[in-house]
A and B are shown apart, each in its own frame.
Chain A
Amino acid sequence: MLQQLVNALLLGGIYALVGVGFSLIYGVMNIINLAHGALIMLAAYTTFWVFQLYGVDPFASIVISMALFFVIGFILQKYIVNRVVGQNVLMTMVLTYGFELIAVNFALYFWHADYRAVNPTYAGTGLEIGDVVVPYIKLGILTVAIVLTSLLYLFMTRTKIGNAIQATSLNKDAAQLVGIDIQYIYSFTYGLSAALAAAAGTLIAIVYTVTPSMEGGFLGKAFVIAILGGLGNSLGAIVGGVVLALAETFGVVVFGAAYQQIVGYVIFLLVLIVRPCGLVGRRFFSEL
Chain B
Amino acid sequence: MRRLASSFVSGGCNLDPRGKFLWWVLPLALVVAGTLAAAGCSATGQQAGDSGANVLKIGAALSASGSLAHEGDVMKKGYELWKDTVNEKGGLNVGGKKYKVDMVYYDDKSDATTAGKLVEKLITEDKVDFIFGPFGSGISAAASAISEKYKKIFIATIANADTVYSRGFKYLFGILPPTTSGFGLNIDYLATLTPKPTKLAIIYPDDLFPASAAEAAKKKGEQMGFQFVFFQKYPKGTTDLSSIMTQVKAANPDALLNSGYMEDEVMMVKAAKELKFNVKYISSLGMPVFAFMKALGKDSDYLFDAQWWMPQSGWKGPFFGSSQDYNALYKKKYNEDATYYSAAASAGGLVLQTAIGKADSLDVEKVRAELAKTDMETFFGQIKYDETGFNRTGKGVIIQMKDGKINIVYPQNLATTKAVYPIPDWDKR
Q: What is the interface of chain A, defined by CB distance below 8 A to chain B?
A: 3-4, 7-8, 10-11, 83-84, 86-87, 104-105, 108, 112-117, 119, 123-124, 126, 128, 133, 135, 137-138, 207-209, 211-213, 217-218, 221, 248-249, 252-253, 256-258, 260-262
Contacts and interface: CB of A to CB of B under 8 A. Distances in A.
A261 B241 CA distance: 12
Nearest to A121: B298
Interface of B: 15-17, 64-67, 69-70, 72-73, 110, 203, 206, 232-235, 237-240, 242-244, 246-247, 262-263, 266-267, 270, 273-276, 291-292, 294-299, 426
Contacts of A262: 235
A249 to B, nearest CB: 4
Contacts of A207: 270
Nearest first, the 8 closest Cβ-Cβ pairs linking A and B are: A113-B69, A124-B273, A257-B234, A113-B70, A135-B274, A257-B232, A249-B243, A83-B15
Contacts of B67: 211, 213
B276 A126 contact: yes
Contacts of A7: 242-243, 246
13 contacts: A108-B69, A113-B70, A114-B291, A115-B291, A133-B276, A208-B267, A213-B110, A258-B206, A258-B232, A258-B233, A258-B235, A260-B235, A262-B235
Contact of B238 (A83, A117, A133, A260): A260
Contacts of A3: 246, 275
Most chain A C-beta atoms within 10 Å of own C-beta, residue among B17, B299, B426: B17
Nearest to A218: B239
B110 A124 contact: no
The secondary structure that dominates the B interface is helix
Nearest to A18: B239
Given A257-B232, A257-B234, A258-B232, A105 B65 contact: yes
Nearest to A137: B274
Contact of A115 (B240, B275, B295): B295
Contacts of B243: 4, 7-8, 11, 248-249, 252-253, 260
B238 A4 contact: no
A12 B266 CA distance: 21
Contacts of A256: 232
A257 B203 contact: yes
A115 B262 contact: yes
A115 B263 contact: yes
B65 A83 contact: no
A260 B275 CA distance: 19
Contacts of A11: 240, 242-243
Contacts of B246: 3-4, 7
A79 B277 CA distance: 50
A256 B426 CA distance: 27
A218 B239 CA distance: 9
Nearest to B204: A257
A261 to B, nearest CB: 5
Nearest to B244: A257
Contacts of B69: 108, 112-113, 211-213
Given A115-B70, A221-B239, 20 more contacts: A4-B243, A7-B243, A7-B246, A11-B240, A84-B15, A108-B69, A115-B263, A117-B295, A119-B296, A123-B270, A124-B270, A124-B299, A126-B276, A207-B270, A209-B266, A213-B66, A253-B243, A257-B203, A257-B247, A260-B244
A126 B274 contact: yes
Given A3-B275, A113-B72, A133-B275, A108 B64 contact: yes
A209 B296 CA distance: 9
B238 A124 contact: no
Contacts of B238: 260-261
B5 to A, nearest CB: 13
A260 B246 CA distance: 13
A234 to B, nearest CB: 22
Most chain A C-beta atoms within 10 Å of own C-beta, residue among B17, B234, B246, B263: B246
A252 B247 contact: yes
A249 B156 CA distance: 38
Contacts of A138: 274
A256 B69 CA distance: 29
Nearest to A252: B243
Contacts of B234: 252, 257-258, 260
B381 to A, nearest CB: 27
A209 B265 CA distance: 10
Nearest to B272: A124
Contacts of A261: 235, 238
B17 A83 contact: yes
Most chain B C-beta atoms within 10 Å of own C-beta, residue among A11, A128, A135, A221: A135
B16 A83 contact: yes
B239 A208 contact: yes
A283 to B, nearest CB: 28
A217 B239 contact: yes
A119 B299 contact: yes
A8 B243 CA distance: 8
Nearest to B246: A3
B417 to A, nearest CB: 25
A110 B64 CA distance: 13
Contacts of A8: 243
B342 to A, nearest CB: 14
B12 to A, nearest CB: 15
A133 B65 CA distance: 37
A103 B267 CA distance: 24
